[in-house]
Amino acid sequence: MSDLIEIKLNADQTEGTKATVAQWLKKVGDAVVKDEPLIELETDKVMMEVIAPADGILKQILVREGEPAEENIILGTIDESVVSNPVNETNKQVETTPNQGTLDLPRKNPTAGLPDPPSTFISPAVRRLSQQHGINLTHIQGSGKNNRITSRDIHDFLSKPNQSAFVSDVVEHTDAGSEIIPHTQMRKIIAEHMQHSVQTAPHVTSVFDLDLTAIIQHRKTHKQKFADQGVKLTFTAYFVAAAVQAIKHQPKVNSRFHEHGLEVFKHVNLGFGTALGDDGLIVPVIHQAQNMDLIQIASELTRLTEKARINQLTPREIQGGTFTISNHGVSGSLVATPIIINQPQSAILGLGKMEKRVVVEEHNGQDMMVIKPMCYVSLTIDHRALDAYQTNDFLSHFKRTIECWEL
């Protein structure tokens, strides 16, 4: 009797996210090796791989491409009692029926021993990555079955130098009056989250002016020192550090509203919005930010941002956030209001575009016009959880932290 090993997800892999089978990297009857990638899953925000739990032959595929993959559901099975024989694999055809497992039909194969023909199938995950980065897939050699291109092939391609010649930012349009662009899974989930948030929480926004002189000077002085340690010092690192200090001063901002009371978190798991072009955005989370100094925050920002842009974040790295920052100014926005709260959090901080402005200051009793690097900072709150007092108290402390940053 065959020893069948079940292929399953566990709670650590999904951590509550909705996952869909994007691509099986093997076919029924193929040999598999323990710990090699077997399935590509697409969640609402990240791609991840399911590895083979044992050596053997892929016996069944029970959850097909495009179908949901849930925790503890059997995705397929591996027969570990069968020893792989490459000759046998090229001389048989294996068919799978939806409800009857597998059926092996031996037949002569005139192309045995020849390379597999290239696959024309492109999984949703690969299609999304190629569109996101403007990649012509004809320039990529697939490593999957029948030379199928996998998301790992895309990541490997992007990691190589001198690939810009194969990447195009040009999007072709038809001459028709319009076109329908199907929603990605990410866009669908973003839409659901945004609609849920505005229906759940009454949004109120407060806006302050912010003088960036001190952190600009600090960054100019310390940028190379951080770079020598392999860390990119960005302005977002200062905003994260200042937000942590403001939360310590006004902890109710770092909270979740329940009908029976307000849950105030002792840890600061701070998310920061990262744009993914036309595909939407993702919010990586810096866990336990209250225990980090500036260089640790900057290092974690760099690591998570790089993983986000090549679609390699793990579920844990986008979950568990208690507070969020939206640095919308990087794309030229001065003020965004309201910035939709990332439920079930109680607030979201927004930073606008940095620009030089003329401001009035008093010097020796005289009003003077001076040029300063300024931006607008906003806090959008869930008015069920917070009021104007906590909102403006938080922003006042955030403002003092940034404007009085010590060199």
Q: Which two tokens stand for residue 305?
A: 């941002």
Q: Check if 387 is active-site.
A: yes
Where residue 251 falls (left for φ over 0; alpha for ψ -120 to 50; beta otherwise) is: alpha
Question: 92, 119, 116: which is closest to 105 by C-alpha?
Answer: 92
The 8 Å CB, 24+ separation contacts for 96-101 are 96/28, 96/60, 96/61, 101/59, 101/60
The single residue of 328, 387, 393, 397 carrying the catalytic annotation is: 387
C-beta separation of 218 from 401 below 8 A: no
Bridge partners for 20 per DSSP? 42, 68
Which residue among 203, 222, 383, 393 is the active-site one?
383
Long-range contacts of 232-237 (CB under 8 A, 24+ apart): 232/298, 232/301, 232/302, 233/294, 233/298, 234/298, 234/301, 234/302, 235/327, 235/354, 236/272, 236/301, 236/325, 236/327, 236/351, 237/294, 237/297, 237/298, 237/301
Reply yes or no: is the peptide bond before residue 344 cis, omega within 30 of 0: yes
Based on the residue annotation, tell me whether 383 is a catalytic residue of this protein: yes
Residues annotated as catalytic (active site), given as ranges: 383, 387
